[in-house]
Amino acid sequence: MPRAGLSTEAVVDAAIGIVDAHGPGALTLAAVAKAAGVAAPSLYKHVRNLAELRDLVTRRVMEELTERLQRAAMGRSGDDAVRAVMQAYRSYVTDHPSRYAAMSQQPLTDPRMALAGERLLEVVLAVLRGYDLDGPDLVHAARCLRSAVHGFAVLEAAGAFGLPEDTENSYELLVRMVVGGLRAAPPPEPNEPPIG
């Protein structure tokens, strides 16, 4: 029997549930219809196709991650803010590895994802502005921070750290390395003569 009151949000909820339980590759319209208790054609009232559903899942994940980072950064600045954001980002990935894997890693290049991607990026940029960074230096710092956290968290979530040393200690070292790098003067731009 079809479930009354199906909405786009409920369809995305069902899709997220499938991704969490079985990974991004298991996301199909048939699986979502089954999880939602409706016939597959009923989904077309809420999503055009699987590509749109994947976009909606990506947007939801980016919104969740943005909210987590905003909460972590609230009331903090400088090293404390970077540390909190790095911890929050890592915990989101390790709490929801399949959900995170379903998220587009290039949202700013896709007009359908750009707004959600810009909101996520703005949280990181706001934290990094506490180091008096702007322009290209701000972008480079954001890329480095994202690469460090993303790489560590994805590897950790995949169980790729097989040596017995504590991953908490490894992550603390990574945070200290990032913070130390942010405190250092930014490198000169190409074609700019070095200082001194």
Both tokens assigned to 112: 């359908």
pLDDT in tens, 162-188: 999 999 999 999 999 999 999 885 555
Which domain range does residue 14 map to?
1-47
Residue 142 and residue 97 in one domain? yes
Q: Which of 18, 24, 10, 107 is nearest to 59 (CA)?
A: 107
pLDDT tens for residues 66-75? 999 999 999 9
Considering the domain architecture, whether residues 79 and 19 belong to the same structural domain is answered as: no
CB contact set of 5 (below 8 Å; sequence gap of 6+): none
Q: Is 33 among the domain residues?
A: yes
Residues 40 and 75 in one domain: no
CATH number at 5 reads 1.10.10.60
* Residues 17 and 62 occupy one common structural domain: no
In a domain? residue 189: no
Predicted TM-score (pTM) of the model is 0.87
Domain count, the chain: 2
Average pLDDT, the chain: 91
